[in-house]
Structure 1
Amino acid sequence: MSTTTTGASSDAAQRERDVVGSVATGLLVGGERVEGGDGRTIDVVDPSTEEVLASVADATPEDGQRALAAAAAAQGEWGRTPPRERGEVLRRAWELVTARVDDLALLMTLEMGKSLAESRAEIAYAAEFFRWFSEEAVRVDGRWSTSPDGATRLLTMRQPVGPCLFVTPWNFPMAMGTRKIAPAVAAGCTMVVKPASQTPLTMSALADVLAEAGLPAGVLNVVTTSRTGEVVEPIVRDGRLRKLSFTGSTPVGRTLVEQSAQQLLRTSMELGGNAPFLVFDDADLDAAVDGAMLAKMRNVGEACTSANRFHVQRGVLEEFTRRLTERMAALVVGRGTEDGVDVGPLIDERQRGKVEELVGDAVDGGARVLTGGERTGGRGYFYAPTVLADVPASARLLREEVFGPVAPVVAFDTEEEGVAQANDTEYGLVSYVYTRDVGRALRVCEQVETGMVGLNQGVVSNPAAPFGGVKQSGFGREGGREGIDEYLETKYVGMTI
C-alpha cells in the first residue's frame, strides 16, 4: 500500500470551491428553496481533510410536514400526466447528468471521499436509472379478460401509489437517489427525499437537474436534516403518505417498518448485508482475484454489496490469498481528487473506529494481518486496505458488516461446507460464486440464501436488473422491470356488457 498526500493546486482548489458554491443549500419544498424553520444548519465535511465544505439547511419536523404537503398537493395533477411526458423528463435528466459528469463527480468525491474514477462510475450508473425508467414509463399496462362464466368482463388497471418518502444513505449519494426517484417519476408518484446528512450536496444538485429537465414543482421535495427521527417519523405516520423506501442499516429499517405499520404503507427496505465470496478449487483464479477486488474495494468497501468475507476452498487458499494480498497492498490511498488514487477515506471517524474495532477483535482471536490493519495518512479518515488470514469463526467481522477495506479469508473443504459458511448469517443481500463447473454453479446459486448472486463476476448492480435481498437484508426490488411495480397499485373493475 502507498499513500499520496499531494495538496490541491490553487487552480484545482478554486474549481472545488466553484463546484461546491454552485449547489443550493436550502430545503426544496414545493419548488422553492427555503431555509430550515429554526435557522439551524448542518456542516458538510470533506472526509479526506476534515474541513467544512459547506453548510446546508437543517430541517425541523414542521419543515418535513410542509414538504409532505407539497408532495400531496402535486400528486393529483402529476399522476394524470401522460406517461410519455414523464418519460421525457427522465430522458432529459439522463442527458443533463451525463453532460455534467465531471462537476457532479467532483462534488461527490469532495463530500463522500471516493476517488474521482469511482464517482464518475457512480454518476454513469445513477444516470442509467433515468434512462431505464424513461422507457418503462410508457410500458405500465393492465389487462382485459372475460370472466370464466362469460357473464362479465374483467378490467385491471395500474395506478400510482401516491406520495412517497425516500430515505437515502451517504455511500452512494446519487445512485441510491435515482434508483428510487426514477421509478416514482415514471409511475406518476410525488415524493419527499431525505438524504444522508453527511452527503446532502449531491442530492441537492440532482434536484436542480430534475427541475431543469422539466419536473414540475412539488413532485420532488428535498429535506436535509440532522434530526432524522424527529423529522421522518411524523411523515411516516401521516395519512397522506402512501409509500416508504429506505436504504440503510437493518436496525433503522426495523424501526421504520414498525412506524409504517400504523398507516399500512407500501414499503421497500434495502438493508444491511454480509456478502460471502466463494472461491472453489476449479475457479479461474485470475478472474476470481479481479472479481474480489471489485467486490471488496468498490466504494472503499463502504457498500452493502461489498464482499464481507472470503470463503476459499483449501486447494486454492494459499494462492488466492497471496494474490489478493499483493493486489490490496499495491493500492494507493489518498484524497480522491488526486491523480492515481485508488482508495479514498472512510466517511467519518465513527466509521473508521468501527473498522478498527472489528479488525482488532479478529486479531485478538488469532487472525493474522497480511497487509494493512491500521490507520494511515495524517488528516482524513483513512484506513489501509487490509487482508486477514486464519480468521477465527468467532470473529465479529464474519457476522457484522465491516463497511470498510478489510478482506477476511476463511478456508473450507467441501462444497457443502462452503455453502453452509456462506449462509451462516442473518443477512441475505448478495453472494459471489467463482467456479468453472456448470453443475456446481447452478447448485450453489440455488442454495445460497441471497436475493442476488454474482456468478463469476464481482459487480451485480445493474439498472436493468432487480436489486434487493432476503432475510434481514430487507424486501422489495429496485431496478429492472420489477422496480416500477413498487410504485403502482392494481385496481380491478368488473363490468357487465
Structure 2
Amino acid sequence: MDPATEEVLAAVSDGDIAEAIAAVDAAEEAAADWKATSPRRRSDILMKCFHLMNDQAERLARMITAENGKALPDARSEVTYAAEFFRWYAEEAVRAPGELGPAPAGANQIMVTHEPIGIAVLVTPWNFPAAMATRKIAPALAAGCTCILKPAAETPLTALAIGEIMRQAGVPAGVVNIVTTTKAGPVVSAMLHDKRVRKLSFTGSTGVGRRLLHEAADQVISCSMELGGNAPFIVFDDADVETAVAGAMVAKMRNGGEACTAANRFYVQKRILAEFMRRFAEEMAALKVGPGLAADTQLGPLITEAAVAKVERLVDDAIAKGARLVTGGSRLGGEGFYYLPTVLAHVSPDAEILREEIFGPVAPIIAFDTEDEVVELANDTEYGLVSYVFSRDLKRALAVAGRLESGMVGINRGVVSDAAAPFGGMKQSGLGREGSNHGMLEYLETKYIAATW
C-alpha cells in the first residue's frame, strides 16, 4: 500500500510455513557449494551487486518511496547507503581473520580459523527496506553462509528487487531466498525450530526481539539483535547553535523520524534553550509535507494509520501532562498517513513520549543545568542504541560520550551510520554488531586446532 494515497500498489505471495521450510531446503542444498566458493569469487559477486544497485538506484529509490512513503531524497540516500554494504563486504570477504602461534608450554601450535556459521535467517523492518536487507545479506554471503530473508510485510517490493539484482550479479540459486508473508510469527518460528538453521539476525522492536530470543533458545541459535532506541540529543551551552540545529534536523528527521537512531529526547542546557528552540522550531515548521514522490517534498507520510495513532497518543499525553506545543501537533488533513513536524517544550519527566520510541516527526525538549544531571537523564532508559552530544569543548564531549550507556555516540553530528563502522547498541537495544569487520564475524564460527609438527 502507498502510505501517501492509501492505494494498493501490488500483490505479492503471502508465504506460510511450507514456503519457509522450502526456503531452508534451498539454502541447505546451496550451502556446501557456496561455502566452498573462493573468497575472491564471493567478493567479485558482491562487488557486481554494488555496481548493479547503483545502476538501478533511481528505480529502487522510487520503489522505496512508493511502498514506504519516505521523501525521495531520503530514499535516494538509503539506496546509496544500502549499496555500500555490498562494496564493503566485497572487500571484507577476502579478509577473514586467522591466527597461528605456539602454545605457552611449547608442545604444540595454536591455530585459530573461522568458518561459515551456517544457514542464516534474516528478519528486516520496513523503515529501511533496502539498507537493512543488504546490511545482513552482504556479510552473510561474504562469510560463506546461505540465507533466508523475511522482509517486512509493509515493504516486500524492495526486498524482491534486491533479490533480482543479486540474481543478475551471479548469486547462485538457493544462496539467497526471500519469503514474503503476513504470518511473520509462525513462519520465523518454524525456521528457528529447524535444526539446519544456525543464525538469526533481526532488526525491529525490543518486544519482538525478546520473543525471538526465546524462540532461538530452543535450538541454541546464534542471535544478532538490532532493537529499539530512545536516543538522547544533548546540547551544551557552549555548542554552536547553528550546528546543533542542523544536527538536530538530521538526527530527528532522517526518514521522517521513523528510525531506531532518531533523536527521541532533546536535552538543552538552559542558557541557550530559548535560542535553540526558536531556531529548531522554525526549521521544523518550514518542512514541506506531502507525497514522497513530489519534487519539493521534505517529509512524507508515516508508514500506517497505526503509526499516526501512536504519535498522536504520545503528543496528547505530553500536552496533558504540561508540555507546551511550539509547532505542529496534528495530522495533515486528507488521504494518507501524515503527521506534521512537531516540537514540544517543557515536557514532563513522566510523559510517555520520553519512555517510548516515537518513530515519527516529534521532538520533545527538556532543559538541564549540569553535566551530571543530563548524563543521568540520558541513561534513564532501558535502551542504549545511540546518543548525540553537541559541544565546542571536545574534551567534555568525549568525557560525556564515555559516560553514556549507548553503543554509538555522535559528537557534533546528527548521523552515525556507516558501512565501515560497528552499528549496534547496549542494554535492551540489542546484541552484536552490524557493519565493519565485526559484521562479518557475526556469521563466522571460531575453530581452534591444536597441532604438533
The one-letter code of the counterpart of 2:98 is: G
**Residue deviations 1:116-171, cap 9 Å, x none?**
11100000000000000000000003111111122211211110000000000000
Cα deviation, residue 74, structure 1: 1.0
Identity of counterpart residues, as a percentage?
A: 57
SS in 1 for 2:114: strand
Q: Structure 1: how far apart are the matches of 2:269 and 2:241?
A: 12
* Aligned partner (choices 331, 337, 341) of residue 287 of structure 2: 331
Cα deviation, residue 438, structure 1: 2.1
Q: Structure 1: how far apart are the matches of 2:433 and 2:35?
A: 22
Other-structure match for 1:438? 394
Matched, 1:182 2:152: no
* Aligned partner (choices 395, 417, 420) of residue 373 of structure 2: 417
Matched, 1:146 2:106: no
Cα deviation, residue 365, structure 1: 0.5
1:196-275 correspondence to structure 2 within 5 Å: 196-275=152-231
Instruction: List structure 1 runs of 4+ shifted beyond 4 angstroms.
Output: none
Matched, 1:489 2:445: yes
Q: Structure 2: how far apart are the matches of 1:189 and 1:229?
A: 23
Instruction: Provide the alpha-carbon RMSD of the alignment.
Output: 0.6
**Residue deviations 1:247-293, cap 9 Å, x none?**
00001000000110111111000000000000000001111000000
Other-structure match for 1:17? none
Other-structure match for 1:283? 239
* Aligned partner (choices 364, 371, 375) of residue 331 of structure 2: 375
Other-structure match for 1:340? 296
Other-structure match for 1:388? 344
Other-structure match for 1:121? 77
Matched, 1:135 2:85: no
**Residue deviations 1:384-417, cap 9 Å, x none?**
0000001111100001000000000000000111
Other-structure match for 1:309? 265
The one-letter code of the counterpart of 2:121 is: L
Matched, 1:74 2:52: no
Matched, 1:480 2:412: no
After TM superposition, the structure 1 stretch with the greater mean CA deviation from structure 2, 246-255 or 437-446, is: 437-446
Cα deviation, residue 66, structure 1: 0.6
Cα deviation, residue 418, structure 1: 0.9
**Residue deviations 1:35-57, cap 9 Å, x none?**
xxxxxxxxxx0000000000000
TM-score normalised by the chain length of structure 1: 0.91
**Residue deviations 1:182-211, cap 9 Å, x none?**
000100000000000000000000000001
Q: Structure 2: how far apart are the matches of 1:394 and 1:145?
A: 56
* Aligned partner (choices 275, 279, 295) of residue 319 of structure 1: 275
Q: Structure 1: how far apart are the matches of 2:398 and 2:261?
A: 21
TM-score normalised by the chain length of structure 2: 0.99
Q: Structure 1: how far apart are the matches of 2:64 and 2:94?
A: 32
Cα deviation, residue 493, structure 1: 1.1
The one-letter code of the counterpart of 1:475 is: L
SS in 1 for 2:445: strand
Cα deviation, residue 443, structure 1: 1.2
* Aligned partner (choices 34, 41, 63) of residue 19 of structure 2: 63
Give the aligned length.
453
**Residue deviations 1:73-104, cap 9 Å, x none?**
21111011000000111100000000111100
Other-structure match for 1:24? none
* Aligned partner (choices 47, 54, 57) of residue 101 of structure 1: 57
Q: Structure 2: how far apart are the matches of 1:237 and 1:412?
A: 49
Cα deviation, residue 322, structure 1: 0.4
Q: Structure 2: how far apart are the matches of 1:426 and 1:344?
A: 30
* Aligned partner (choices 447, 450, 468) of residue 424 of structure 2: 468
Unaligned runs of 5+ residues in structure 1 are: 1-44
The one-letter code of the counterpart of 1:267 is: C
